[in-house]
């Protein structure tokens, strides 16, 4: 090139070409280093061994009749296992895919048979640590224990690691069980630990609380504490199921509800105190003080307003105290806020007759005839008091919200043709146990039902309980226990009822392939929800469904009737 | 991956070219305008590299190197120097732009009009540049077509491994990657004092562009080889009278199987020594030019210079110093060639001292053939001053580091051991056959006549040439070319002594003689300066020139016989094309591992060091891009330990597998990161084995249970990565499979191809998984030994033992029952 004046121009052209090259490369993703990697992903419920042995999908819960493992049964049922409950280890049980051992100990013969079962590829779950695991070598060999370091060790809390129950890693500092301290064998994966308060434990070693042992061929899950007795322990089973080497999928409900019980309460039962504290009348207090705060908290937390009115809170309420005229106004206020109104009986104890349930139904038909109440919470009533009414006065009720009694009283199900939604938590009671059980419920079904009983406000048990302290506890609880699940669907009770019915009836069938899941919605079903879990599983192609990542390796799938053949791909 | 690699090669080529060429182009624009294209290329290579290396090393040694400071140190200093030197022009330009801005603000000039005008000017400049380029290409079309053909062949050939096998080829490369990464952390000379010129350039590119060092070095081999070949062609173009003769010689290196694999295989990889060769022939070019100017000086020019010198002596000291180094101007100025020559020498020293050894020989050869220049006044003095000055610049960073306590790097010690005479038989050439040829003879030994001695030396030379050049026809061709160069250059010097053309060719011959001499000639009393395999690389490079010599001589003859230059050129072009067509002579017989022989037209390039599979690199790319730094550990062969530096932890697979031997219950092995990637080979690599292109698979052995059963002693050393790699990998694969069985869910098959498996273990950092497992082959050797012992015992003894064992089992069962019952009662009692 003799003409040097063009040299710089050539360089400029080079720069432009360079930029174009980069743009094209980046747009094609050539510089992203996003290389395809091969991952094995099989997704059948059972392993090939299980399928070959014809035991796929069968489970046995072996527990004493007086100590049923309700959580285990619920969890296995949720996972579509054919569950049988027995009291002893039978030959039939040894041919199952999963055995839940609910007894507190096992004999040498049982240990040998269970060892053979696990060596054959079966999954064994110990509800609690067998009593002889501290001493007997054969049990230790079965449970993955290498050595006993201390027979009983005090703890100052327990910690569940992320990747097991939904909600991430959480430490429960108020749960302080005494645990046996074991050194575990190779092949053990620990999911929960106790935090030792041993002063000499300078390296902050933890005490295995819940672990899996794979050294024998199959899986053995051992838990030192009993989490499977109550219905809300079902999540532990699904969490164990999710620890497979392949991604797993199971149906869920995906409905979180929050219900205010006793709002409004029509009977004027404690006006003197209300007037003294709030300078309002009974009814004014509900609509001028409580309603704005309740609406605000519901809106902030993302829940639709769901309230259940009651005629009277106590059995002492007389008819003259009831201001039925304001019922219409109350319904207008709630429904006008896109909320839902239900009916609850007195939350304090009493009989159906004394709490005036029939009277309340009649008043509803009189004052708000256009609005049909379909949800009902029996409050403090015994089952015998209100179940017969389902055929008469409560015949229009479709959804039953069964109350919190310190542990979930009942699982999801159908009672007299009505959908049972179990209340897992009280909005004002935040205990480590309730939080742990909330994690479990969410893991199993991705649903929780919470109630806030206003009796504590209008009929306070102590001097320091008023609306201010109640709202503080409520708000604290909302930002604490439920925070990890803030992105899940919040619905009214009616919507939760629909989703629960769909879930119970298996309205959406699914089938897993190597890296795909295909769905089929049954006739009339609106949608279906599933949880896809696996180590770093990623959904990348959805047709007729949507996928949302809840946490690492956990995807919420919603199947809708947009496409005749909904399916998704994952890797 | 192949496409991605190809794009990365293009990308790195553009980045490197811009990094090296933009700097001198911007700031020495005026000087470049008066140069020929070939000179421009050499000028930019030398100045760009020297500038970048000096600034980068200075900042690194002072621990102040950051991307911004590197940019300011190169472009910022350049800009300030430009402004100071051309202050009046810069000031005028600023004033002009200020006026334009004023017009734009006051509305006297419409913004749209101004932008349109500037844009139109730019378009016009680009158009004219493209037209000029097209015109230039048109005028040299046939030459460029042939050159492109050669370069395409070279790129195809030397990028084959990078494009198809992806992995790093030699064990040096990961070490260099680590050193470059350490530079980015301000830790220059991390392993000791070493010529860091090449590392400085790589670090500069990496710092300013953000490109990952792993990618850069993987494809840089192809890019730097391309530039090395281009400079070789540029030098040949200056040496030869016919451009086609230059291409003919060049084609031998790029397209033929003329040279042995040890002479050319290192071009595939990004290594400092090869990068240093980039400056060898530019150095020779500017030294020849320097001498030529001195030799061809007229009496008037000398008188004028003397007058200037007298004038200078009357000037103050600083002005005299400035005048001594002088500002070059015009074609006849000796300062610029001298500066570039000295800078080249300095660069060879900055990059790799082996290249300096070669450079010394080349300079000596050129000086010997241009002795007349040294008789001219000031020539030798200036030469020494400039070279010393630039060598000091190259030495300062290393001397500073050494003076402040940094030790010499281990490979320098190795280099010294090679340099010292009689360093032992590590050299390839010092094998039994060679020793038989040379060692019996000793210079001055009365038992042997001069004739015997000369014959022995000739035999040794021929042996050495055979080592550098493929055997068969190529040996005779190259020998003929070397001898032809000698005869032709001497004849030319005798008959046309005023023309330096012959002297230049004689320099090449002398340089070849020097390269042959410095390997190992104890009989001559010469020290061994260089390892034979390294020396052959330089030898192959320079022998391509001698291969061009006969063609150039033919052209000269034709041009003399047919004075019409065009016709001679045409004939030369046809001859060149015919040469290219015929140059693909078959490679010699290659003896394969199984003893069979094959005759192949392919070039016999070997990978020499099959360091890792492509799968390893794919996994590394994936880890770097998808996982947060220092959250993962890679368990793999030692070759990756330097590559992952700064991104993740590395655990040597061999150490780990060795620790797992003699496994006992209760053994523990924890790796304290959330992710653990275990990379094992399904086909254990045969380390440092040969491979001939274009095979898709690297040479490898097979896994076997027999190998896995072999017990590894604790003093196994690195032999597990070389001869016994199949033992290591057989064990590792079983270990990995056992981990998959023990930790399902946590353990996934992350990557798998025909050659490697990579599993990913995701663990809770608070509850680490115990990776010390009984995988069946780390304790089974006990059983194997027991079985062997058992074989030696008598049948009777065996029967007795069996009976005893049965009894023992029964006793154990009973004891277990008793124990179970007892412990059960104890528990109930508690």
Q: Encode pLDDT of B20-77 as tens digits.
A: 999 888 888 888 888 888 888 999 999 999 999 999 999 988 888 888 999 998 888 8
Q: Is B354 exposed, middle or buried (0-12, 13-18, 19+ CB in 10 A)?
A: buried
Task: Name B489's Cβ contacts closer than 8 Å, sequence gap at least 6.
Answer: B502, B503, B504, B505, B506, B508, B509, B549
Q: Cα dist. A44→A250, A252, A478, A509, B501 in Å?
A: 11, 18, 37, 14, 81
The per-residue pLDDT for A563 is: 66
Q: Do B770 and A137 touch (CB under 8 A)?
A: no
Higher pLDDT, B804 or A228: A228
Query: In whole angstroms, what separates CA A301 from the centre of its chain?
Result: 18
Query: Is the C-alpha dihedral spanning B435, B437, B443, B449 positive or negative?
Result: positive
Beta bridge partners of A403: none
Low-confidence ranges of chain B (pLDDT < 50): 328, 421-443, 585-602, 604, 794, 797-798, 800-802, 804-805, 808-809, 811-812, 815-830
Q: In the predicted model, what is the mean pLDDT of chain A?
A: 81
Neighbour count for residue B244 (Cβ, 10 Å): 28
CA distance B42 to B341: 11
Q: Which of residues 591-650 of B touch A (CB under 8 A)?
A: 618, 621-622, 624-625
A448, A441 contact by CB (below 8 A): yes
- The CB-side HSE value for B160 (13 A sphere, CA atoms) comes to 22
Q: Do B824 and A136 touch (CB under 8 A)?
A: yes
The per-residue pLDDT for B124 is: 92
A450, A425 contact by CB (below 8 A): yes
CA distance B537 to B759: 41
Q: Of A479, A487, A407, whose CA–CA distance to A440 is shortest? A: A407
CA distance B618 to B130: 40
CA distance B222 to B236: 21
3-state secondary structure A176-231: CCCEEEEEECCCEEEEEEEEECCCCCCCCCEEEEEEEECCCCCEEEEECCCCCCCH
Q: Which of B748, B766, B819 sits opposite A535 (nearest CB)?
A: B748
Q: Of B221, B232, B168, B215, whose CA–CA distance to B198 is shortest? A: B221
pLDDT digits (tens, 9 = 90+) for B784-795: 555 555 555 545
Whether the full predicted model's pTM is greater than 0.80, yes or no, is no
The per-residue pLDDT for B600 is: 45
The per-residue pLDDT for A3 is: 43
Q: Cα dist. B700→A361, B211, B728 in Å?
A: 84, 32, 13
Q: Is B743 on the interface with A (CB under 8 A)?
A: yes
Q: What does the DSSP assignment read for B787-822?
A: HHHHHHS-HHHHHHHHHHHHHHHHHHHHHHHHHHHH
A547, A568 contact by CB (below 8 A): yes
% of chain A exceeding 70 in pLDDT: 85
Task: Name B46's Cβ contacts closer than 8 Å, sequence gap at least 6.
Answer: B279, B282, B340, B343, B344, B347
Picking from B820, B829, B830 by the largest number of A CB atoms within 10 A of its own CB, the best residue to mutate is B820
Task: Label the pairing between strands A545-551 and A58-62.
Answer: unpaired
Q: Which residues of B touch A38 (CB under 8 A)?
A: 749-753
Closest CA–CA distance from residue B671 to any residue of chain A (Å): 14
pLDDT digits (tens, 9 = 90+) for A521-535: 887 778 889 999 987
The per-residue pLDDT for A2 is: 41
SS3 percent helix, strand, coil of chain B, rounded to 5, is 65, 5, 30
Picking from B21, B129, B829 by the largest number of A CB atoms within 10 A of its own CB, the best residue to mutate is B129
Considering only CA atoms, give the Rg of chain B.
33
pLDDT above 80 for A371: yes
Query: In whole angstroms, what separates CA A54 from the centre of its chain?
Result: 31
3-state secondary structure of B630: coil
Q: Which of A25, A37, A245 sits opposite B7 (nearest CB)?
A: A25
Picking from A26, A27, A37, A203 by the largest number of B CB atoms within 10 A of its own CB, the best residue to mutate is A37
Range A365-380 average pLDDT? 85
pLDDT above 70 for A8: no
Q: What is the dihedral of CA A457, A462, A463, A467, to 10 degrees?
A: -20
Q: Which of A17, A31, A161 sits opposite B767 (nearest CB)?
A: A161
pLDDT digits (tens, 9 = 90+) for A88-109: 888 888 888 889 988 888 888 8
Strand order of the β-sheet with B675-681 is: B649-652, B632-636, B675-681, B756-762, B747-752
Strand order of the β-sheet with A188-196 is: A82-86, A58-62, A98-101, A123-126, A219-223, A206-213, A188-196, A155-160, A170-172
CA distance A260 to A377: 11
CA distance B302 to A138: 105
CA distance B266 to B272: 10
Q: Is B6 on the interface with A (CB under 8 A)?
A: no
Q: Please report which confidence band the pLDDT of residue A404 belongs to, taking 50, 70 and 90 as the band edges.
A: low
The per-residue pLDDT for B815 is: 47
Q: Which of residues 32-51 of B touch A (CB under 8 A)?
A: 32-35, 37, 40
Q: Cα dist. B553→B238, B288, B433 in Å?
A: 15, 20, 37
Q: Which of residues 93-112 of B touch A (CB under 8 A)?
A: none
Q: Strands, E, within B15-73: which ranges?
A: none
Picking from B213, B767, B813, B819 by the largest number of A CB atoms within 10 A of its own CB, the best residue to mutate is B767
The DSSP code for A529 is E
Closest CA–CA distance from residue B496 to any residue of chain A (Å): 31
Q: Of B1, B3, B15, whose CA–CA distance to B217 is shortest? A: B15
Q: Which of A6, A161, A215 sits opposite B742 (nearest CB)?
A: A215
Q: Please report which confidence band the pLDDT of residue A277 belongs to, taking 50, 70 and 90 as the band edges.
A: confident
Q: Cα dist. B138→B132, B145, B438 in Å?
A: 10, 10, 54
The per-residue pLDDT for A15 is: 57
A322, A312 contact by CB (below 8 A): yes
Q: Which of residues 136-195 of B touch A (CB under 8 A)?
A: 136
The per-residue pLDDT for B635 is: 93
The per-residue pLDDT for B54 is: 92
Q: How many helices (H) and strands (E) does chain B have?
A: 35, 7
A6, B129 contact by CB (below 8 A): yes
Query: For A425-434, A484-493, B344-353, B389-398, which range has the lowest pLDDT when averaged over its residues?
Result: A425-434
The per-residue pLDDT for B589 is: 42
Q: Which residues of A touch B621 (CB under 8 A)?
A: 33, 35
Q: Do B820 and A136 touch (CB under 8 A)?
A: yes
Q: Is the peptide bond before B521 cis (omega within 30 degrees of 0)?
A: no
Picking from B6, B37, B218, B744 by the largest number of A CB atoms within 10 A of its own CB, the best residue to mutate is B744
Task: Name B495's Cβ contacts closer than 8 Å, sequence gap at least 6.
Answer: none
Q: Please report which confidence band the pLDDT of residue A43 belongs to, taking 50, 70 and 90 as the band edges.
A: very low
Q: Is B4 on the interface with A (CB under 8 A)?
A: yes
Range A388-409 average pLDDT? 79
Q: Of B22, B444, B464, B442, whose CA–CA distance to B205 is shortest? A: B22
The per-residue pLDDT for B55 is: 92
Task: Label the pairing between strands A123-126 and A98-101.
Answer: parallel
Q: Which of residues 497-536 of A touch B (CB under 8 A)?
A: 534-536
Q: Do A7 and B33 touch (CB under 8 A)?
A: yes
Say how many CB pairs under 8 Å bridge A and B. 165
Higher pLDDT, A319 or B625: B625
B276, B352 contact by CB (below 8 A): yes
Task: Name A150's Cβ contacts closer than 8 Å, sequence gap at least 6.
Answer: A180, A181
Task: Label the pairing between strands B597-598 and B649-652.
Answer: unpaired
Q: Is A30 on the interface with B (CB under 8 A)?
A: yes
pLDDT above 80 for A452: yes
């Amino acid at each position: 090139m003799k003409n040097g004046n063009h040299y710089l121009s050539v360089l400029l052209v080079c720069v432009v070409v360079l930029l174009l090259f980069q743009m094209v490369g980046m747009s094609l993703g050539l510089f992203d280093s996003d290389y395809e990697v091969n991952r094995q992903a099989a997704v059948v419920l059972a392993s090939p061994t299980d399928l070959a042995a014809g035991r796929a999908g069968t489970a046995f819960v072996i527990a004493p009749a007086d100590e049923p493992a309700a959580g285990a049964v619920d969890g296995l049922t949720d996972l579509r296992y054919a569950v049988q409950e027995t009291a002893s280890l039978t030959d039939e049980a040894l041919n199952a895919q999963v055995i839940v051992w609910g007894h507190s100990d096992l004999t040498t013969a049982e240990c040998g048979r269970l060892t053979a079962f696990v060596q054959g590829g079966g999954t064994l779950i110990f509800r609690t640590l067998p009593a002889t695991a501290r001493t007997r070598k054969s049990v230790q060999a079965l449970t993955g224990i290498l050595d006993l370091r201390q027979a009983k060790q005090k703890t100052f809390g327990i910690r569940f690691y992320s990747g097991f129950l939904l909600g991430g890693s959480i430490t429960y500092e108020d749960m302080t069980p005494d645990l046996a301290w074991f050194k575990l064998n190779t092949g053990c994966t620990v999911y929960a630990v106790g935090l030792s308060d041993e002063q000499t434990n300078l390296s902050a070693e933890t005490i295995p609380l819940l672990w899996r042992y794979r050294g024998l061929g199959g899986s053995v899950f051992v838990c030192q504490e009993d989490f499977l007795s109550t219905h809300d322990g079902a999540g532990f089973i699904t969490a164990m199921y999710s620890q497979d080497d392949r991604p797993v999928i199971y149906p869920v409900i995906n409905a979180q509800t929050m219900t205010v019980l006793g709002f409004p309460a029509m009977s004027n039962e404690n006006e003197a105190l209300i007037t003294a504290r709030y300078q309002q009348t009974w009814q004014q207090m509900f609509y001028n003080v409580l309603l704005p705060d309740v609406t605000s908290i519901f809106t902030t937390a993302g829940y639709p307003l769901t309230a259940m009115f009651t005629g009277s809170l106590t059995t002492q309420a007389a008819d003259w105290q009831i201001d039925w005229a304001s019922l219409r106004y109350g319904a207008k206020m709630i429904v006008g806020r896109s909320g839902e109104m239900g009916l609850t009986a007195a939350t304090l104890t009493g009989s159906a007759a004394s709490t005036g349930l029939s009277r309340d139904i009649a008043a509803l038909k009189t004052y708000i005839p256009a609005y049909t109440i379909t949800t009902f919470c029996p409050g403090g009533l015994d089952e015998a008091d209100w179940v017969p009414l389902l055929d008469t006065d409560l015949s229009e009720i479709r959804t039953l919200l069964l109350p919190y009694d310190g542990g979930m009283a009942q699982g999801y199900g159908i009672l007299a043709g009505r959908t049972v939604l179990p209340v897992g938590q009280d909005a004002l009671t935040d205990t480590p146990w309730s939080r742990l059980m909330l994690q479990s419920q969410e893991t199993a079904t991705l649903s929780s039902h919470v109630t806030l009983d206003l009796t504590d406000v209008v009929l306070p048990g102590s001097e320091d309980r008023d609306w201010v302290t109640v709202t503080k506890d409520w708000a604290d609880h909302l930002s604490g226990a439920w925070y990890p699940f803030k992105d899940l669907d919040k619905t009214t009770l009616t919507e939760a009822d629909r989703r629960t019915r769909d879930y119970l009836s298996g309205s959406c069938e699914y089938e897993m392939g190597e890296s795909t899941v295909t769905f089929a919605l049954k006739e009339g079903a609106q949608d279906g929800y599933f949880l896809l879990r696996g180590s770093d599983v990623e959904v990348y192609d959805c047709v007729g469904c949507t996928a949302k990542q809840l946490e690492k390796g956990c995807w919420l799938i919603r199947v809708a009737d947009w496409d005749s053949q909904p399916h998704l791909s994952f890797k | 991956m192949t496409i991605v690699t190809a794009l990365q090669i293009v990308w790195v080529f553009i980045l490197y070219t811009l990094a090296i060429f933009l700097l001198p182009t911007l700031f020495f624009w005026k000087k470049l305008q008066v140069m020929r294209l070939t000179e421009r290329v050499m000028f930019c290579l030398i100045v760009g590299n020297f500038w970048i290396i000096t600034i980068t090393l200075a900042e690194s040694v002072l621990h102040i190197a950051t991307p911004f400071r590197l940019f300011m140190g190169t472009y910022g200093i350049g800009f300030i120097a430009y402004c100071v030197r051309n202050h009046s022009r810069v000031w005028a330009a600023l004033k002009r732009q200020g006026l334009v801005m004023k017009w734009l603000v006051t509305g006297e000039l419409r913004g749209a009009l101004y932008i349109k005008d500037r844009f139109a000017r730019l378009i016009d400049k680009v158009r004219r540049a493209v037209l000029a380029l097209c015109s230039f290409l048109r005028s040299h079309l046939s030459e460029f077509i042939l050159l492109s053909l050669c370069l395409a062949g070279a790129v195809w050939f030397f990028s084959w491994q990078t494009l198809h096998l992806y992995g790093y080829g030699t064990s040096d490369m990961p070490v260099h990657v680590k050193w470059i990464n350490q530079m980015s952390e301000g830790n220059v000379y991390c392993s000791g004092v070493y010529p860091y010129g090449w590392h400085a350039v790589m670090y500069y590119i990496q710092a300013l562009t953000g490109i990952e060092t792993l990618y850069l070095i993987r494809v840089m081999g192809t890019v730097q080889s391309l530039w090395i070949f281009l400079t070789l062609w540029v030098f040949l173009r200056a040496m030869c009278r016919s451009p086609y003769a230059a291409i003919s010689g060049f084609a031998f290196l790029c397209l033929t199987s003329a040279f042995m694999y040890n002479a050319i295989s290192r071009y595939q990889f990004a290594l400092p020594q090869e990068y240093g060769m980039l400056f060898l022939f530019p150095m020779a070019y500017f030294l020849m030019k320097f001498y030529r100017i001195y030799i061809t000086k007229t009496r008037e020019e000398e008188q004028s210079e003397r007058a200037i010198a007298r004038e200078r002596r009357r000037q103050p000291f600083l002005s005299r110093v400035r005048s001594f180094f002088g500002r070059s101007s015009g074609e006849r100025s000796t300062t610029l060639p001298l500066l570039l020559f000295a800078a080249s020498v300095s660069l060879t020293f900055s990059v790799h001292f082996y290249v300096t050894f070669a450079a010394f020989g080349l300079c000596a050869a050129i000086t010997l053939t241009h002795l007349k220049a040294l008789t001219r006044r000031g020539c030798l003095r200036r030469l020494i001053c400039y070279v010393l000055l630039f060598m000091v610049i190259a030495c300062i960073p290393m001397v500073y580091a050494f003076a402040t306590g940094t030790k010499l790097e281990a490979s320098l010690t190795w280099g010294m051991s090679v340099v010292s005479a009689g360093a032992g038989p590590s050299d390839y050439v010092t094998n039994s056959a060679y020793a038989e040829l040379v060692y019996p003879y000793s210079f001055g030994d009365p038992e042997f006549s001069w004739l015997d001695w000369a014959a022995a030396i000739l035999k040794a030379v021929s042996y050495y040439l055979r080592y550098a050049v493929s055997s068969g026809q190529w040996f005779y061709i190259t020998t003929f070319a070397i001898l032809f160069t000698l005869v032709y250059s001497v004849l030319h010097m005798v008959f046309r002594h005023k023309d330096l053309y012959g002297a230049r060719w004689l320099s090449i011959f002398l340089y070849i003689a020097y390269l042959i001499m410095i390997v190992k000639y104890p009989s001559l009393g010469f020290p061994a300066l260089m390892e034979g395999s390294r020396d052959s690389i330089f030898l192959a490079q320079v022998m391509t020139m001698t291969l061009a010599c006969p063609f150039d001589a033919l052209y000269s003859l034709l041009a003399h016989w047919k004075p019409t230059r065009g016709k001679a050129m045409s004939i030369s072009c046809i001859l060149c094309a015919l040469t290219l067509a015929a140059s693909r002579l078959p490679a010699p017989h290659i003896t394969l591992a199984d003893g069979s022989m094959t005759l192949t037209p392919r070039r016999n390039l070997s990978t020499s060091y099959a360091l890792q599979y492509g799968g390893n690199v794919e996994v590394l790319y994936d880890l770097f891009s998808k996982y947060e730094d220092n959250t993962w550990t890679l368990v793999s062969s030692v070759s990756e330990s330097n590559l992952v530096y700064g991104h993740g932890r590395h655990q040597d697979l061999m150490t780990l597998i060795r620790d797992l031997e003699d496994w006992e219950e209760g053994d523990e092995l924890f790796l304290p990161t959330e992710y653990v990637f275990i990379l094992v080979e399904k086909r254990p690599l045969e380390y440092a084995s040969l491979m001939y292109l274009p095979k898709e698979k690297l040479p490898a052995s097979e896994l076997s249970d027999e190998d896995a059963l072999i017990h590894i002693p604790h003093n196994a050393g690195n032999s597990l990565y070389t001869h016994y790699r199949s033992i290591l990998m057989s064990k590792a694969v079983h270990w990995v499979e056992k981990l998959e069985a023990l930790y399902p869910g946590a353990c996934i098959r992350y990557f798998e191809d025909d050659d490697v498996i990579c599993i990913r273990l995701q663990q809770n950092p608070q509850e680490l998984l115990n990776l010390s497992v009984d995988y069946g082959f780390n304790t089974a050797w006990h059983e194997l030994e027991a079985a062997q012992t058992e074989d030696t015992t008598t049948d009777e003894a065996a029967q007795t033992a069996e009976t005893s064992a049965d009894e023992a089992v029964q006793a154990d069962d009973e004891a277990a029952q008793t124990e179970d019952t007892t412990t059960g009662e104890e528990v109930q009692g508690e």
